[in-house]
Structure 1
């Protein structure tokens, strides 16, 4: 295994640490690091949750039938393919424990929780790196050749964090064919898929009908701006795995309010449309803005955040983080990601006026 050195960093949820170190009240900080929808929670959820507060007086439906029905309509799959969980992070651990891979291949740079869960399950993580010189775009055939070395699990974040790159469905099918032949499970984390320009064409959910080695994870923390709700879900097409997971998992994976909240937010069409319009328009605008900058190298984003390479030799990620946080704006120093360095930062797209403040500071 290639040894990866991990550094400490500020996560988007670490505003209390920022408050202590910089003396800035967390309520005053605009987090460009957390990758959360700037519109906040769904208005339908805000109006409806109070009306259903009495739900906590009873146990949730053990099968979460109504919630799984809403999710299945939202993503376009059969209700029996859906498993809900206490955030996608818990589901990552649940499925990795189930697969129990001795060797897992992870597309990197990416979210550190995958490696952590593999390690806790007793396996070893190996990385297939994406390269800046190739704009962090996956070379599918090369990955398929790498898979022949023998792995029980392949983990893909799609769109990937922090590169904001997307594996098209045709390429995903090629990867799945290879993994099916090799007996390799594929875990696809679609946390950011709803921010892509065409969710229907980009998501791997339809492929779950054809591949019993595919597990797709999603959550509500980012697109629905509800990280505190801890509501995640998985879509898969392997009946035996579904049956086993339901038998061994905790009987009540999510609380009654999260159950109700999911049913409200997934049906808020106006909120979903406003979110997509905001993110797509700001993504296009800001990418073009940084593309003409001599100071940064933007990598074409497919999600709600953008990775920037720092071209200015007088700057580094730590300096830019410090400069921004002192102006109450928090970006991500990407030097903590495998295969990246202190020459990269990431920020998510917020409201236009906030984006203007950040870009003015970065480009000044």
Structure 2
């Protein structure tokens, strides 16, 4: 299950999806409208402009960037590329990895490394021992992790990658939410991808620029890996809408800076408000918050206020009572807290 199921509910405020609270930049919205005028043409099969502009940001070759119809398509292509016999996943974490592994490699043995609640679901060094023992063919990591929003400490991530490089384990590092933490420049592996033999970095325009309906993501890796992944993708997998919107998004770094400021302020405000209501709130570095409460039907009760949140009970490692909320504009955050307070007070 994922967030964003607005099609079966009457929703005014969707806190279940973790997209940029500033919404779609106006220039990107305009380009999407303009793209409709080109709908009678095939898109560029090589994504030439988009690839050139994206590669320039990370000082890469265009051939070291692979584009997909959202990061989800790339995850499936990666799983088809390597058809692993043994994969390792964190729990709780994004369920899409398991979905793609079981689809591409149905006989794969999936090993779960459970994050502990007493550690606030932070990744710890005991993962290193598990990697040594299990020797997986592929490891999926998410930084910041979903649903709790914590970044992986840089020193630990470096140790994990070093060990996996020694063992020949492919490491997929999902950075789709990293830009919105404000720590992209210091923590992203994409800027040094040539230092790694078996690392694939996943990124997406979806969250950063609030365009989940457009579907555009990309992977960054060595050219040999990129070439292999491309063989498992369909031709023309990006629409002309995705190509034009993506190229425009890359021009608006000031939008990202303002977004990070709003997210940081909103996270502080929303975390404090949820704690004041008596909930257990887990620390986050990102644009969403994981919390726990005794109200087992909080999601259903909030639907009466036309508010949608993410029930996290279907995440491996979590149970009923865990919820995730996105950080939105201040008036929306206020509305969420007000609705929850009404529920708590009965």
C-alpha RMSD of matched pairs (Å): 1.7
* Corresponding residue number in structure 2 for 1:94: 77
* Corresponding residue number in structure 2 for 1:191: 176
Taking structure 2 as the reference length, the TM-score comes to 0.92
* 8 A contact 2:137–2:169 mirrored in 1: yes
1:181 partnered with 2:166 = yes
* 8 A contact 1:104–1:125 mirrored in 2: yes
Higher mean C-alpha deviation, range 243-252 or range 90-99: 243-252
Taking structure 1 as the reference length, the TM-score comes to 0.88
Q: Write the distance in 1 (CA, Å) between the matches of 2:285 and 2:233.
A: 34
1:261 partnered with 2:252 = no
* Corresponding residue number in structure 1 for 2:336: 358
Measure how far apart 1:200 and its partner are: 0.9
Change in CA separation of 1:52 and 1:335 when aligned onto 2, cut-off 3 Å: closer
Change in CA separation of 1:75 and 1:322 when aligned onto 2, cut-off 3 Å: farther
Q: Write the distance in 1 (CA, Å) between the matches of 2:139 and 2:310.
A: 26
| Equivalent residue for 2:198, pick from 177, 189, 213 | 213
Q: Write the distance in 2 (CA, Å) between the matches of 1:230 and 1:344.
A: 28
Measure how far apart 1:52 and its partner are: 4.0
* Corresponding residue number in structure 1 for 2:94: 111
The unaligned stretches of length 5 or more in structure 1 are 1-8, 19-24
Change in CA separation of 1:274 and 1:76 when aligned onto 2, cut-off 3 Å: farther
1:32 partnered with 2:15 = yes
CA deviation profile, 1:108-140 (whole Å, cap 9, x unmatched): 101111111111122121110111101111112
Measure how far apart 1:13 and its partner are: 2.6
**Mapping for residues 28-177 of structure 1, pairs under 5 Å:** 29-120=12-103, 121-122=105-106, 123-140=108-125, 142-148=126-132, 149-177=134-162
* Corresponding residue number in structure 2 for 1:241: 225
Q: Write the distance in 2 (CA, Å) between the matches of 1:330 and 1:248.
A: 35
CA deviation profile, 1:283-323 (whole Å, cap 9, x unmatched): 122223334x361111111111000122xxxx333x21122
1:295 partnered with 2:278 = yes
Measure how far apart 1:260 and its partner are: 0.8
* Corresponding residue number in structure 2 for 1:15: 6
* 8 A contact 1:197–1:302 mirrored in 2: no
Q: Write the distance in 2 (CA, Å) between the matches of 1:322 and 1:343.
A: 12
* 8 A contact 2:21–2:263 mirrored in 1: no
* Corresponding residue number in structure 1 for 2:315: 337
* 8 A contact 1:172–1:204 mirrored in 2: no
* 8 A contact 1:173–1:207 mirrored in 2: no
* Corresponding residue number in structure 1 for 2:304: 326
* 8 A contact 2:292–2:321 mirrored in 1: yes
**Mapping for residues 298-313 of structure 1, pairs under 5 Å:** 298-310=281-293
Helix, strand or coil at the partner of 2:213: helix
